[in-house]
């Protein structure tokens, strides 16, 4: 500073109150350093020495770069200190753990969620309600996680875990969206773990899992308690002192297995060696609803290239194993290539041993030895019985193995398969001398039965040998017979070792049936395949006799180079097919087949079978470059082959032709063509003595396939009966497979319908169907439309003409909904239709509305209605329910029932007649009615008149028809019977009143209140009598009463009703007849119908019983003219009566004249009758 002053004597320095304050201010303006601090002390001393004058020392000013690096170093030291303090805060304080928990819940909530945290992260902490979210997996939940460790050990490259405890874990590793399996294309290579180097040591003193679960798909593992002690990784050497777990496994609904597991051992990664022991014990487990117990002890020992894995155990499975099984398994893997296995399974009655050696690098070379001593297989499983005895040894190459076999299987019954006897005797030595005999007798599987199968090989494979296969009687049981289980038989086996007899029960000693019990159908009668010669050149003969016919072929074949380049060549010289279905076909020229296994070459020359002009050919080839070609043709296949399968009234005359060809090497270069057609011909259909002929002008389907897509066309022209045209294509093959197809069909004319169905006259209009399919083939969008345009129909029996029939049913593309709209016109009025149908949930609605529709206008019936109905099907959402609501007005109805001329008849089914059907028609109808709800009003107009069986009347009123689900149909309303007449045994009664009352009960049982009467004039007594009948009660229980005015007895009323006069009580015959009539009325027997009787047909008023002039009963005929003049002729039925004639005439309202002429004489009476 003194230098600066000296150098700049003129510079001015601000003065402070004292020298120390000035020095402090100067120090603040310059960077602090050790030198400046020292200078400052010197200056202070100089100031304090008042009176002394000392020249200040000058100092050099620091550069800007120096000051920047000084600031940077200071900032780094401060930042490092802050980071260390922050890490200490987060790792070694409770507040730091809570801070980390809050940050994770806030900023990483999509991946992790922590309910609460206690402790210190670097020493001992506890997390509760931990939740981890992984992509495409359900959340992983842990109720509590406790960890005690020392993070300071990380500085020494150690992980020191004192204790880890997990409880209440729910770990579900089932993918939400299944991931596709990836096939590994890498070749097999030996595994090595020497290169694994873990640069840190880990020590875990204690690990404890409690009340936790792990789930992968249907596999569920529950960890009730799992403890690990002394787990350590030191210098790549893993040691485990002890692990013990109480676990529980669930697999779907089939496996429920609690078990205890213990594990210990060590794994040395640098030496690639392991020594592990695993013990497993399960008791009271459930497998397939049966109790399951198992105890296993396993050991994994050795180095990776010389590894041994052994298992010893015992399995007890109730109701699945009659006797516990002891299991011993020894496996040895050498050089990760050669696998040796020894398996020994036994129980008290059976034992089986298996030894095998197999090498990965020589997959077709193996060594297999199997020894079986199992006389009682039922002791393995209660549903299996039979015996398996013998030895089997296979060694060497799979194509030419060395064989030594002596096996016998008897009375086998397993999983629906029954086998009486199977024997295998064979040998094949190093000199290729082979003798093999396999015999199978009586094999039954479900409904199929095979009587015999035999395979024999005798000779030297490299020289001459004979080989044959025979199959006899393959049948199918038509009606399976249920076999009753046989009772166990007592079998006594002598046990010499114990010196006493032991009573043992075996299912093998129960009787068993190997042949079908019911009727059978023979599928294959005989199959013979015989080969003679050498492998390089041998003759073969093949014969097949089956239900479809017979095939007989022979030729020459060769099998060469089995070990280096296997090839097979076949020359088919003769072949003949005889079938009752397709006729007799014969190979028209020899054919050749070649197979090269190494290069995968295949070649088939044209194989053509011919019958007359009918030819079927097939040929194909696969080159060593991988190009595949094939052609199949069928020409002139006659329709006569279908004759036996068609109804007698249908005949087809045409021929079918088909060509299918293709070529490909990969998916990107294939070419395919298919052409199917019918030649010109016809279809003849006969119905009720009439015949129509449908011309088959054009029937063609053409399909072409290329990598760019598949295209197709359809053309059908059957004249006026049917025309169909369509085309389609598929793009983006083997990926999205986009479909785009259209079809259009129509029926041009209907003039051919009326000759077949005479009741339908004047049928006309046009039916058109169109459809489109677009989109991916897996989920295409389908649109369709069915329309009827300008339809017309005349029903002659009703004199009803329907016209302007227009109906449109449209399936909207991309939806499952059919829209229905249309109209049907009549001579007066039109019916409107509007609705929809959803094929996905089976819901539907249809509205029908019309005004004054004239549906019939004949002499017998005239009907005009005005419906307004709504029908709804609720489908799946509504549980398959239906609703019918609305109203039907009937403004006009005239109906006159006429009995069928000739009397007619009803044909009934005799008691011994069997009706074939599924029997579901009645059930379907019943289900529909149970699911139907109905609320419909029927309203009668003022022009209603009906007549039937002697009754003619007018009606009016209305009925409300209702029905709840699962209830009967009910009716509420009144039908009034107005003016009318009722003919009872020739006497016409006037309907005085009538009412049919529906009170809300079943519609089939309304209340009845009907009264009909007639007034008679007693010519003898000169007075008027009114008699009649009343129908009361209900439709199901009607009650008929007689009434009169003035009051008369029932016999008197019946006399007036049937004889028109008072009864003659002195005539027993008449009294008996009248009593019979009264009885019929009382019991409800039919008493009407004379209107259609013989008298009416002859134009007479009376024909039958009538009154004689003497008042007795007679038989005769009578005719009334203009209701005022009557003439009758007859004869009495009593001994005192003879022939008679009657003349009656009524005039001037109150006067009548009765004249009678009899064999005994005659009479004439004049009467005057008037009521006052």
Short-list 263, 301, 292, CA closest to 280: 263
Q: Which residues make beta-bridge pairs with 631? A: 619, 661
Q: What is the DSSP letter of 1074?
A: H
Q: What is the DSSP letter of 462?
A: T
d(CA 795, CA 1169): 54
Structure token pair of residue 264: 């210990």
DSSP codes joined into one string, 645-672:
GS-TTEEEE-EEEEEEEEEESSTTS-EE
Short-list 867, 897, 866, CA closest to 884: 867
Structure token pair of residue 949: 């069986």
d(CA 551, CA 712): 36
Question: 3-class DSSP state for residue 640?
Answer: helix
Q: Distance between alpha carbon 1108 and the CA centroid of its chain, in Å?
A: 81
Q: What is the pLDDT of residues 1000-1016, one digit of tens each?
A: 888 778 888 888 888 87
Short-list 654, 571, 575, 640, CA closest to 609: 575
Q: Which residues make beta-bridge pairs with 957? A: 940, 975
Q: At what angle do helices 1068-1083 and 1050-1059 cross, to 10 degrees?
A: 100
Give the residue extent of every domain in the chain.
2-62, 273-374, 783-896, 967-1084, 1093-1172
DSSP codes joined into one string, 22-90:
HHHHHHHTS---HHHHHHHHHHHHHHHSTT---PPPP-PPPPHHHHHHHHHHHHHHHHHHHHHHHHHHH
Q: Kindly report the three-state secondary structure assignment for every residue of 914-963.
A: CCCCCCCHHHHHHHHHHCEEEEEEEEEEEEEEEEECCEEEEEEEEEEEEE
d(CA 265, CA 228): 12
DSSP codes joined into one string, 476-518:
EESSPPPPPPPPPPPEEEEETTTTEEEEE--GGGS----S--S
CA distances from 420 to 382, 479, 512, 976 (A): 18, 22, 9, 82
Q: Distance between alpha carbon 520 and the CA centroid of its chain, in Å?
A: 31
d(CA 1051, CA 1068): 13
Read off φ and ψ for residue 1035, nearest 5 degrees: -65, -35
Q: Residue ranges of the chain with pLDDT lower than 70? A: 1-62, 181-192, 194-195, 398-400, 461-462, 479-509, 563, 688, 755-757, 759, 897-926, 948-951, 983-987, 1018-1022, 1060, 1066, 1080-1141, 1143-1172
Where do we find the tokens 């053309």?
Answer: 715
Q: Which residues make beta-bridge pairs with 537? A: 534
d(CA 233, CA 237): 5
Strand order in the sheet with 1125-1132: 1102-1107, 1113-1121, 1125-1132, 1139-1147, 1151-1158, 1162-1168
- Residues 6 or more apart whose CB falls under 8 angstroms from that of 778 comprise 737
Structure token pair of residue 71: 């600031």
Where do we find the tokens 């009486």?
Answer: 420
Structure token pair of residue 190: 């030996």
What is residue 279's predicted lDDT score, i.e. its pLDDT?
A: 92
Strand pairing class (738-747; 760-776): antiparallel
pTM of the predicted model, to two decimals? 0.55
Looking at beta carbons, which pairs linking 143-152 to residues 24 or more positions away fall under 8 Å?
143/167, 143/168, 143/169, 143/211, 144/168, 148/123, 148/124, 149/122, 149/123, 149/124, 150/122, 150/123, 151/91, 151/121, 151/122, 151/123, 152/122
What is residue 979's predicted lDDT score, i.e. its pLDDT?
A: 78
- Residues 6 or more apart whose CB falls under 8 angstroms from that of 1083 comprise none
What is residue 492's predicted lDDT score, i.e. its pLDDT?
A: 39
d(CA 409, CA 417): 13
Burial code of 920-945, b = ≥16 C-beta within 10 A, e = fewer? Answer: eeeeeeeeebebbbbebbbbbbeebb
d(CA 900, CA 1092): 10
Q: Are 31 and 40 in contact (CB under 8 A)?
A: no
- Residues 6 or more apart whose CB falls under 8 angstroms from that of 799 comprise 856, 857, 858
CA distances from 205 to 150, 152, 227, 569, 669 (A): 12, 17, 10, 71, 65
d(CA 427, CA 438): 12
- Residues 6 or more apart whose CB falls under 8 angstroms from that of 426 comprise 403, 404, 405, 434, 435, 436, 437, 438, 457
């Amino acid at each position: 500073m003194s230098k600066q002053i000296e150098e700049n004597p003129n510079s001015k320095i601000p003065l402070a109150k004292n020298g120390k304050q000035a020095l402090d201010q100067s120090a603040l303006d310059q960077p602090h350093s050790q030198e400046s601090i020292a200078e400052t002390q010197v200056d202070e001393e100089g100031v304090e020495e008042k009176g002394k004058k000392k020249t200040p020392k000058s100092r050099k000013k620091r550069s800007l770069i120096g000051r920047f690096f000084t600031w940077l170093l200071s900032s780094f030291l401060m930042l490092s200190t802050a980071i260390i303090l922050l890490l200490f805060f987060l790792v070694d304080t409770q507040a730091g753990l809570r801070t980390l928990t809050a940050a994770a819940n806030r900023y990483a909530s999509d991946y992790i969620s922590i309910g609460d945290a206690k402790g210190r992260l670097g020493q001992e902490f506890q997390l509760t309600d931990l939740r981890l979210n992984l992509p495409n997996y359900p959340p992983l939940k842990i109720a509590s996680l406790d960890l005690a460790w020392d993070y300071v050990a990380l500085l020494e490259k150690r992980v020191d875990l004192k204790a880890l405890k997990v409880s209440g874990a729910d770990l579900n590793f089932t993918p939400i969206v299944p991931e596709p399996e990836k096939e590994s294309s890498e070749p097999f290579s030996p595994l090595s773990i020497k290169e694994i180097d873990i640069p840190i040591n880990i020590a875990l003193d204690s690990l404890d899992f409690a009340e936790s679960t792990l789930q992968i798909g249907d596999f569920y593992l529950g960890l009730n308690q799992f403890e690990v002690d002394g787990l350590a990784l030191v210098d790549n050497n893993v040691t485990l002192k002890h692990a013990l777990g109480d676990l529980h496994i669930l697999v779907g609904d089939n496996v429920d297995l609690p078990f205890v597991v213990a594990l210990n051992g060590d794994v040395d990664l640098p030496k690639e060696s392991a020594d592990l022991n695993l013990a497993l014990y399960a008791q009271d487990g459930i497998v397939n609803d049966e109790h399951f117990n198992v105890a296993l002890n396993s050991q994994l020992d050795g180095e990776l290239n010389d590894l041994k894995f052994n298992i010893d155990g015992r399995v007890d499975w109730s109701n699945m194993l009659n006797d516990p099984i002891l299991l011993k398994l020894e496996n040895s893997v050498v050089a990760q290539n050669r696998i040796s296995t020894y398996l020994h399974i036994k129980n008290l009655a059976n034992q089986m041993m298996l030894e095998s050696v197999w090498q990965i690098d020589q997959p077709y070379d193996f060594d297999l030895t199997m020894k079986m001593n199992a006389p009682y297989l039922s002791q393995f499983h209660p549903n299996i019985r039979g015996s398996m005895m013998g030895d089997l040894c296979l060694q060497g190459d799979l194509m030419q193995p060395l064989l030594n076999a002596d096996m016998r299987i008897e009375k086998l019954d397993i999983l629906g398969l029954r086998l009486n006897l199977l024997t295998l005797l064979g040998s094949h030595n190093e000199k290729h001398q082979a003798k093999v005999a396999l015999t199978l007798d009586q094999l039954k599987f479900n409904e199929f039965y095979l009587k015999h199968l035999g395979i024999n090989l005798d000779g030297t494979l490299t020289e001459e040998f004979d080989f044959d296969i025979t199959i006899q009687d393959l049948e199918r049981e038509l009606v399976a017979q249920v076999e009753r289980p046989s009772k166990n038989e007592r079998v006594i086996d002598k046990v010499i070792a114990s010196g006493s007899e032991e009573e043992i029960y075996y299912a093998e000693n129960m009787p068993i049936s190997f042949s079908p019990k019911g009727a059978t159908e023979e599928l294959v009668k005989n199959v013979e395949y015989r080969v003679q010669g050498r492998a390089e050149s041998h003759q073969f003969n093949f014969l097949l006799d089956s239900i479809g016919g017979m095939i007989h072929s022979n030729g020459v074949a060769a099998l060469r180079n089995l070990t280096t380049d296997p090839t097979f060549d076949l020359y088919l010289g003769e072949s003949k097919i005889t079938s009752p279905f397709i006729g007799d076909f014969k190979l028209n020229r020899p054919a050749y087949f070649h197979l090269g296994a190494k290069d995968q070459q295949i070649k088939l020359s044209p194989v053509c079978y011919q019958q007359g002009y009918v030819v079927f050919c097939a040929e194909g080839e696969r080159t060593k470059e991988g190009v595949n070609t094939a052609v199949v043709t069928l020409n002139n296949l006659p329709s006569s082959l279908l004759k036996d399968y068609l109804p007698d009234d249908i005949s087809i005359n045409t021929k079918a032709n088909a060509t299918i060809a293709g070529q490909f090497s990969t998916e990107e270069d294939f070419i395919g063509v298919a052409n199917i057609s019918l030649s010109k011909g016809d279809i003849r259909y006969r119905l009720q003595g009439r015949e129509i002929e449908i011309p088959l002008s054009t029937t063609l389907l053409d399909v072409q396939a290329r990598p760019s897509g598949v295209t197709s066309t359809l053309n059908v022209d059957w004249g006026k009966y049917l025309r169909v045209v369509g085309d389609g294509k598929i793009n983006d093959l083997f990926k999205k497979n986009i479909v785009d197809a259209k079809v259009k069909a129509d029926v041009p004319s209907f003039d051919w319908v009326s000759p077949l169905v005479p009741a339908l006259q004047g049928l006309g209009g046009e039916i058109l169907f169109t459809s489109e399919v677009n989109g991916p083939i897996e989920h295409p969008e389908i649109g369709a439309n069915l329309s009827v345009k300008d339809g017309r129909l005349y029903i002659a029996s009703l004199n009803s003409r329907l016209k302007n029939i227009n109906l449109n049913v449209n399936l909207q593309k991309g939806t499952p909904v059919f829209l229905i709209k249309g109209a049907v016109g009549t001579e007066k009025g039109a019916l409107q239709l509007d609705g929809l149908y959803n094929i996905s949930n089976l819901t539907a609605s249809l509205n029908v509305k019309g005004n004054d529709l004239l549906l019939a206008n004949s002499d017998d019936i005239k009907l005009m209605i005005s419906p307004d109905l709504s029908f709804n099907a609720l489908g799946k959402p509504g549980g398959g329910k239906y609703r019918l609501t609305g109203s039907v007005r009937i403004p006009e109805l005239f109906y006159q029932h006429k009995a069928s001329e000739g009397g007619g008849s009803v044909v009934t089914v005799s008691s011994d007649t069997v009706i074939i059907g599924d029997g579901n028609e009645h059930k379907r109808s019943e289900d529909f009615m149970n699911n139907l709800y109905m609320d419909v009003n029927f309203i009668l107009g003022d022009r209603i008149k009906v007549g039937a069986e002697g009754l003619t009347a007018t009606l009016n009123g209305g009925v409300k028809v209702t029905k709840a689900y699962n209830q009967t149909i009910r009716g509420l309303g009144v039908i009034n019977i107005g003016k009318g007449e009722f003919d009872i045994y020739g006497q016409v009664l006037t309907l005085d009143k009538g009412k049919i009352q529906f009170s809300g009960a079943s519609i089939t049982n309304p209340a009845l209140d009907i009264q009909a009467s007639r007034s008679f004039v007693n010519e003898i007594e000169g007075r008027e009598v009114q008699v009649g009948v009343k129908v009361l009660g209900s439709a199901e229980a009607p009650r008929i009463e007689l009434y009169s005015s003035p009051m008369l007895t029932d016999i008197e009323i019946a006399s007036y009703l049937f004889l028109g006069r008072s009864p003659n009580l002195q005539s027993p015959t008449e009294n008996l007849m009248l009593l019979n009539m009264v009885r019929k009325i009382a019991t409800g027997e039919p008493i009407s119908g004379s209107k259609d009787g013989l008298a009416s047909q002859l134009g007479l008023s009376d024909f039958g019983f009538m009154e004689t002039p003497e008042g007795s009963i007679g038989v005769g005929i009578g005719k009334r003219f203009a209701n005022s003049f009557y003439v009758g002729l007859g004869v009495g039925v009593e001994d005192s009566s003879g022939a008679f004639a009657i003349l009656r005439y009524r005039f001037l309202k109150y006067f009548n004249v009765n004249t009678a002429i009899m064999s005994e004489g005659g009479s004439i009476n004049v009467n005057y009758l008037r009521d006052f």
